[in-house]
Amino acid sequence: MSLKEKVAEFMTREFPQTNVVVEEVGNRSAKVRQPIGEEHLRPGGTVSGPVLMAVADVAMYAAILGEIGLVALAVTTNFTINFLRKPSATCDILGECRLMKVGKRLVVGEVLLYSEGDLEPVAHAVGTYSIPPVR
Amino acid sequence: MSLKEKVAEFMTREFPQTNVVVEEVGNRSAKVRQPIGEEHLRPGGTVSGPVLMAVADVAMYAAILGEIGLVALAVTTNFTINFLRKPSATCDILGECRLMKVGKRLVVGEVLLYSEGDLEPVAHAVGTYSIPPVR
Amino acid sequence: MSLKEKVAEFMTREFPQTNVVVEEVGNRSAKVRQPIGEEHLRPGGTVSGPVLMAVADVAMYAAILGEIGLVALAVTTNFTINFLRKPSATCDILGECRLMKVGKRLVVGEVLLYSEGDLEPVAHAVGTYSIPPVR
Amino acid sequence: MSLKEKVAEFMTREFPQTNVVVEEVGNRSAKVRQPIGEEHLRPGGTVSGPVLMAVADVAMYAAILGEIGLVALAVTTNFTINFLRKPSATCDILGECRLMKVGKRLVVGEVLLYSEGDLEPVAHAVGTYSIPPVR
């Protein structure tokens, strides 16, 4: 199995509620896709904020798993998101994560979120994850 | 109907996906409750980060509706959350929002999230919402 | 010497550039005061953003020193500030910090900043500090 | 005068306390340089957090002036910074800003901060600025 397949399988097993698709993992980065349905929309015909937050969190988690392996349990400590544009109600949301720091105790990454087919991001997130000490 | 009932009814109608219960609204504040089930948990037996984010967002939204009325459509522009402790997998999550600024264009609020029965918060969130101009 | 005096002396010695006055320390909290002069102002007759950020950072640092002692060197890992109102150009800035989590590895605190004499805060900050392992 | 020279002159006049040098402005971006001296350091031989925050704020402000012109007075509403690595005590700090959204009411930008000569950033900041309505 490729690293991407391993991470995707791990995410499916450990986070069965999410239907985010892991599309790429490696080199301190990850790409994910969230298929959008009625249950992700909010009034005004757009994707709800918490859905975007969840996609960003999964993208960072996938990138971190690609770096530190599938065993460790990273914990989000801080998460900041800026909403930039109204996402399309009919396109998938794509998340592209790039890790800016992979330390022994803390990992920091950023994610750009897009409505598929649009070049301008709909949101930008930054997250910090704490890596538990090896026992 | 009380203000709390009006806001709760509005939220149920406009955000049918969420099952967050609006418990108090008024005086630039709101309290909400998220019943926790299997679908909100993540590995390690705790409530997932995106669930906490969604509860905080709803709490702020309810407090804002209580101030500016049910017509206007506030839009989240910035949202920051710090995770402080591991939430219980078996207790409801309570969210207490306090608005720090209610301006004509921007509203800023903070939310403390608790596992019911625990005095120490599990997370703290701050959000900024843009209020569309009256037409 | 009281805890407050010890922390104030430490801050003066270690951060000689700042003229923030430490007024209270203890019980996971701290209060500080920034005398405002011409050098802290920006166009429009208000206190500049970076000055408010520095006051918030010092307030959190003082509160942390009060909890973990004067030896350890805490490092800011994340800092978020929301600007709520225009500060007065002629009043001192007061910073009130409350630590929300004092863990072994991470400390999280929030600070409310005021123009002295005004009840509504001019800004709200949240910061995360990493505590180096004891060697 | 070039756009860069106009912005640099404006910054020098309006923010006389800062000695940040504006090096590039245009295309929704800006580059600035902070010469580092004794007054910018903190214990442990590194650049203090508030100095990095101030450089990021100036970089975003310069990029915004390049887009909306020198008259308008943008106001920071939200600012988040993640500290990634210990900056060098002997190198200039470089700030590279890229605006992610330039709206009528809100501008959102991110800044990467470097110790000159190092490829890995020492910090990453995101800021939101409110643009006052034209009267």
CA distance A115 to A88: 6
Residue A24 in contact with partner chain B when CB distance is under 8 A: no
Q: Which residues of B touch A75 (CB under 8 A)?
A: 83
Contact B105 D80 (CB under 8 A): no
Residue A88 φ/ψ, nearest 5 degrees: -70, 145
Q: Which domains are seen in chain B, by residue range?
A: 3-130 (3.10.129.10)
Q: Which one of C6-10, C40-44, D39-43 scores highest in mean pLDDT?
A: C6-10
Q: Predicted confidence band at B17 (pLDDT cuts at 50, 70, 90)?
A: confident
Report how far apart the first and last C-alpha atoms of chain D are (Å, whole number): 27
For B120, the closest chain C residue by CA position comes to: C100
A32-A36-A38 Cα angle (round to 5): 155
d(CA B49, CA B32): 17
CA dihedral B108, B109, B110, B113 (to 10 degrees): -140
Taking the CA of residue D37 and the nearest CA in chain B, the distance in Å comes to 33
Distance CA A126, CA A100 (A): 10
Under a CB-based contact definition with an 8 Å cutoff, are residues D58 and D68 in contact? no
- Are the Cβ atoms of D101 and A85 closer than 8 angstroms? yes
Full pLDDT tens readout for chain A, 135 residues: 899 999 999 888 877 778 899 999 999 999 999 999 888 888 778 898 999 999 999 999 999 999 998 866 789 999 999 999 999 999 999 999 999 999 989 999 999 999 999 999 999 999 999 998 765
Helix (H, G, I), strand (E, B) or coil at A107: strand
Contact B50 A57 (CB under 8 A): yes
Residue B105 CB burial class (10 angstroms; 0-12, 13-18, ≥19)? middle
Q: State in Å, rounded, how far the first CA of chain C is from the last one.
A: 27
Task: Give pLDDT, residue C78.
Answer: 96
Angle between the N-to-C axes of helices A49-68 and A3-14, in degrees from 0 to 180, rounded to the nearest 10: 130
Token reading at D84:
């990634």
ipTM value: 0.93
Per-residue confidence (pLDDT) for residue B129, from 0 to 100: 95
Buried (b) or exposed (e) across A93-109, using 16+ Cβ within 10 A?
Answer: bbbbbebbbbeeebbbb
- pTM for the complete prediction? 0.94
Q: What is the Cα–Cα distance from A29 to A51, expressed in whole angstroms?
A: 20
Q: Which chains touch A (3 or more CB pairs under 8 A)?
A: B, C, D
C94-114 b/e (C-beta count within 10 Å ≥ 16 → b): bbbbebbbbeeebbbbbbbbb
3-class secondary-structure state, position A104: coil
Residues of D in contact with B106 (CB under 8 A): 77, 130
Report the gap between the CA of D1 and the closest CA in chain A (Å).
31
Chains B, D: CB contacts under 8 A, how many? 16
Q: Do D14 and C76 touch (CB under 8 A)?
A: no
**Does residue D14 or residue C129 have the better pLDDT?**
C129
- How confident is the model over B72-114, as pLDDT tens digits? 678 899 999 999 999 999 999 999 999 999 998 999 999 999 9
Q: Tell me the three-class secondary structure of B30-62, residue by residue.
A: EEEEECCCHHHEECCCEECHHHHHHHHHHHHHH
Q: Does the beta-carbon distance from B85 to C100 stay under 8 Å?
A: no
Residue D45 confidence (pLDDT): 83
CA-based nearest residue in chain D for residue B132:
D105
Closest CA of chain A from B1, distance in Å: 23
- Provide the H-helix boundaries in C35-118: 49-68
Question: Cβ–Cβ of B128/D80 closer than 8 Å?
Answer: no
Distance CA D60, CA D56 (A): 6
Percent of chain D with pLDDT over 90: 73
Q: Cα separations (Å) of D60 from B77, B97, D31, D100?
A: 18, 30, 9, 11
Q: Is the pLDDT of residue D72 over 70?
A: no
Interface test with A, best of B19, B20, B83 (most A CBs within 10 A): B83
Closest CA to D125 of D30, D55, D20: D55
- Residues with Cβ within 8 Å of residue C135, at least 6 apart in sequence: none
**Is pLDDT above 70 for D134?**
no
Interface of C with D in 74-103 (CB under 8 A): 75-83
Interval C46-55 mean pLDDT: 92
Contact C79 D44 (CB under 8 A): no
Q: Which of D108, D119, D55, D62 is nearest to D85 (CA)?
A: D119
What is the average per-residue pLDDT within C102-118?
96
Chain A: give the shortest CA distance to residue D22, in Å. 25
Query: C128, A80: Cβ pair inside 8 Å?
Result: no
Mutation target vs B (from C101, C102, C106; most B CBs, 10 A cutoff): C101
